Structure 1
Amino acid sequence: MQQHTKLKSVNKVLYVSGYTRMVLFNKLIPKAIRDNHFDVFEFDWNSFYSFNRYLNMFPRSFVVKKINAELLKTAINYKPDYIFVLKGEPILNSTLNKIRDEIDTTIFNWFGDDPWEFPYYSGKIAPNYDFFFTYDPYSVSLYKNSGYSKAFHLPYGYDVDFVDSINVSVKDLKKYKCDIAFIGSYYPEREDVLGKLLNKYDIKIWGRGWEKTSFKNVFMGRALYGKEMFKAMKSCKILINIHKGFGQGVEASGEGLNLRVMEAAAAGCFQLTNYQSDIPNRFIPDEEIVLFRDFEELIEKIEFYLNNDEKRKMIASAARKRVVKDHTLRLRMKQLFEIINKEKNG
């Protein structure tokens, strides 16, 4: 599907981590950058928040000030060629400007919560970055229509080797095995879909917010992250993935693939996900991924694939092969820096 050219090596990247819930992805990105022959220094601002949550001593404003002071000091000492911010909620625009005053560097962001955060957050911070990457192709037009020209689409990728290293024990299988799994936070549009599956299938749900709903019989507990999430994926027959904003139009859901699509594919997990227009650009429908547009189609495909084990396993295996070929995180980082270098040298 894609042709890949060799990327010229550069020197240093200061990687500014994303929020705690992406702890595993936070660690895999620097590895993928290093695999592209960069030197990487990791700045994990989550440690400041974790320390303060434990002691409960300081207001949030104090912690944010501390994070930004440490980031400024780190950037000045390390003198990176690039500063890579993954969303970067506590990073202040004033800090980015101070860094530019002190060192010659290129600062960019990879943002994963578009388009719903564009009006009040991502659209406001983007102009402070030299480049702004979003997983959602629809949101690129939002940035450009607002007058910011350095927004680019960069879909997610994943580290298949890491996922392959995760083994599922007999104990794990007993805990996670089910016909249908859903792993994700509560949103009303997700409740609307999953609520219609209750009492019909062997279903298990993990995620924040579900404990407050009527799903208590299938709610298995807190959100799953890291290795535990992949164990659950490897133990279920079907993983259902419902993008935020499903059924509310492109303005709410965007067009891109959420991270769950890549995670499940990397795990060789069969997934049923709602249609997003960028998915067929990344995976072949009905051969590498199965899509639904409404509840009736979802039920039809659940019934079919629960009763066709070999077909289900073939599609899951094909999805994993597609990630290996076109969607590794290492390749995604290579593509990211190719875009930046092309724009800078254009």
Structure 2
Amino acid sequence: MRVIHITSGVESLSNLDFNMSRAYENINKKSTHKINIVSKENESIQSLLAKIKNFKPDVIIVFRAPLPTAFLSALKKLQISIGRWVVDDPHRIDKHVLKSKPYDFVITQEKNCLSVYKKNDLKAIHGPLATNEKEYYPMKVNENYVSDICFIGTPYKNRLAIIDSLADLLQEKNTFIIGPKWEQLKNYTALKTSIINQTLPPNEVAKYYNGAKIVLNLNRPINDVGLNKQKINAITPNNRTFDIAACQSFQLTAYLEELEAYYKLKDEIICFKHKEELREHILYYLEHSEERQRIAQKAYNRTLFNHTYTIRLQHFLDQLQSFIK
């Protein structure tokens, strides 16, 4: 199958354009699928059409940001199947449904949203995220990155509540809470010395993951931006799950229904369903380093075998080939 993948041009800490482009390059070297990666920021309609006509793709994928109307109208005249790949479901599902109607199909990273698109007469396929093992990997770090407990992320309301509930424990331990605007914590004063109020690039994030005994993986609220009015639950693991595991770091992650489709629960990954259970797990695994390291090693092995972008996209392209027929 021949695919034109149009990158988003959206800069993010997840580095998705770079990670996926690298994976496609790997696939091009050894697969029957051939992918041409195109940046719409660097293309006029005429040059984009020329590349498509020359490459003769079976399908065009528009990643994240929808194409300008003029671009999309021109592409549709070629009568090639065009799909839009979204990565913020279910949090922006209302907007994604509306913006995706001109496309032939949607690729969503969230499995629980497939039925929503179907109800809106949109064909949809599941395309979960993964990790770039060249960016997230085991490494030795200096003492500045070492911690008992580490969380890196945005202070959504549910995350603030969880961190506040653990404030006494986090204050006793060597803790890092990293990201902007954590001064919203009720216990900010008590935790102030543990907070790094800045956004970190992936290479720094990987160092903090490697230096932590326990990395917390806390989900975001499902309707945090008001664009999930049906309150569709997220059930697919986020890319942070795979990034942490790729660092061979131990994580405690909020439970999601689909987690066990990716890792063996209680063997390769440890979940929690409420704040009290999270506290219990933190106390237990800080005291049981061998068990913690064994679980982290198993998650690492599973991730390299199943959850890198190269592996994920190869599997996705195999599925897509059947999907568009």
With the length of structure 1 as denominator, give the TM-score of the two structures.
Answer: 0.80
- The structural deviation recorded for 1:139 is 0.8
Counterpart code for 2:87: G
Counterpart code for 1:142: V
Give % identity.
23
Aligned counterpart, 2:50: 77
Given that 1:289 and 1:319 are in contact with CA atoms closer than 8 Å, whether structure 2 keeps it comes out as yes
- For residues 192 and 163 of structure 1, the distance between their equivalents in structure 2, rounded to whole angstroms, comes to 28
Q: Deviations over 1:214-251 (max 9, x none)?
A: 35332213122321111111111111111112799993
Q: Kindly tell me: are residues 205 and 246 of structure 1, through their superposed partners in 2, closer, same or farther at Cα, counting changes over 3 Å?
A: farther
- The structural deviation recorded for 1:21 is 1.3
Aligned counterpart, 2:108: 134
Counting only pairs closer than 5 Å after superposition, residues 103-118 of structure 1 correspond to structure 2 as: 103-118=78-93
Counterpart code for 1:108: G
- The structural deviation recorded for 1:74 is 4.2
- For residues 84 and 13 of structure 2, the distance between their equivalents in structure 1, rounded to whole angstroms, comes to 15
Aligned counterpart, 2:299: 319
- For residues 204 and 103 of structure 2, the distance between their equivalents in structure 1, rounded to whole angstroms, comes to 35
- For residues 297 and 285 of structure 1, the distance between their equivalents in structure 2, rounded to whole angstroms, comes to 15
Is the partner of 2:231 in helix, strand or coil? helix
1:242 to 191, 214, 218: 218
Aligned counterpart, 1:88: 65
- For residues 247 and 169 of structure 1, the distance between their equivalents in structure 2, rounded to whole angstroms, comes to 37
Question: Where does the alignment leave 5 or more consecutive residues of structure 2 unmatched?
Answer: 29-33
- For residues 232 and 160 of structure 2, the distance between their equivalents in structure 1, rounded to whole angstroms, comes to 16
- Residue 204 in 1 paired to residue 176 in 2? yes
- The structural deviation recorded for 1:100 is 2.2
Given that 2:157 and 2:221 are in contact with CA atoms closer than 8 Å, whether structure 1 keeps it comes out as no
- Alignment RMSD (CA, Å): 2.5
Given that 1:189 and 1:247 are in contact with CA atoms closer than 8 Å, whether structure 2 keeps it comes out as no
Counterpart code for 2:309: L
Q: Kindly tell me: are residues 30 and 39 of structure 1, through their superposed partners in 2, closer, same or farther at Cα, counting changes over 3 Å?
A: same
- For residues 247 and 218 of structure 1, the distance between their equivalents in structure 2, rounded to whole angstroms, comes to 29
Q: Kindly tell me: are residues 128 and 269 of structure 1, through their superposed partners in 2, closer, same or farther at Cα, counting changes over 3 Å?
A: farther
1:189 to 143, 158, 177: 158
Q: Deviations over 1:259-298 (max 9, x none)?
A: 1111111111111111110001110111111100001110
Aligned counterpart, 2:193: 217
Q: Kindly tell me: are residues 313 and 285 of structure 1, through their superposed partners in 2, closer, same or farther at Cα, counting changes over 3 Å?
A: same
- For residues 85 and 251 of structure 2, the distance between their equivalents in structure 1, rounded to whole angstroms, comes to 25
Aligned counterpart, 2:125: 152
Question: Where does the alignment leave 5 or more consecutive residues of structure 1 unmatched?
Answer: 1-9, 46-66
Aligned counterpart, 1:40: 36
- The structural deviation recorded for 1:104 is 4.8
1:333 to 313, 318, 324: 313
Is the partner of 2:271 in helix, strand or coil? strand
Given that 2:141 and 2:210 are in contact with CA atoms closer than 8 Å, whether structure 1 keeps it comes out as no
Counterpart code for 1:151: A
- For residues 130 and 151 of structure 2, the distance between their equivalents in structure 1, rounded to whole angstroms, comes to 20
Counterpart code for 2:16: F
- For residues 71 and 226 of structure 1, the distance between their equivalents in structure 2, rounded to whole angstroms, comes to 31
Counterpart code for 1:195: D
- The structural deviation recorded for 1:155 is 1.7
Aligned counterpart, 2:260: 280
Aligned counterpart, 2:285: 305
Counterpart code for 2:111: P
Is the partner of 2:101 in helix, strand or coil? helix
Aligned counterpart, 1:20: 11
Is the partner of 2:221 in helix, strand or coil? coil
Is the partner of 1:142 in helix, strand or coil? helix
- Residue 295 in 1 paired to residue 275 in 2? yes
- Residue 226 in 1 paired to residue 195 in 2? no
Given that 1:158 and 1:266 are in contact with CA atoms closer than 8 Å, whether structure 2 keeps it comes out as yes
Given that 1:36 and 1:334 are in contact with CA atoms closer than 8 Å, whether structure 2 keeps it comes out as yes
Is the partner of 1:255 in helix, strand or coil? coil
Given that 1:131 and 1:340 are in contact with CA atoms closer than 8 Å, whether structure 2 keeps it comes out as no
With the length of structure 2 as denominator, give the TM-score of the two structures.
Answer: 0.85
Aligned counterpart, 2:31: none
- For residues 281 and 185 of structure 1, the distance between their equivalents in structure 2, rounded to whole angstroms, comes to 26
- For residues 272 and 324 of structure 2, the distance between their equivalents in structure 1, rounded to whole angstroms, comes to 41
Counterpart code for 2:158: E
Counting only pairs closer than 5 Å after superposition, residues 250-289 of structure 1 correspond to structure 2 as: 251=231, 253-289=233-269
Q: Kindly tell me: are residues 182 and 29 of structure 1, through their superposed partners in 2, closer, same or farther at Cα, counting changes over 3 Å?
A: same
Given that 1:243 and 1:253 are in contact with CA atoms closer than 8 Å, whether structure 2 keeps it comes out as no
Q: Deviations over 1:274-326 (max 9, x none)?
A: 11100011101111111000011101100110001011111111111111222
- The structural deviation recorded for 1:17 is 2.7
Q: Kindly tell me: are residues 18 and 315 of structure 1, through their superposed partners in 2, closer, same or farther at Cα, counting changes over 3 Å?
A: farther
Counterpart code for 2:218: I
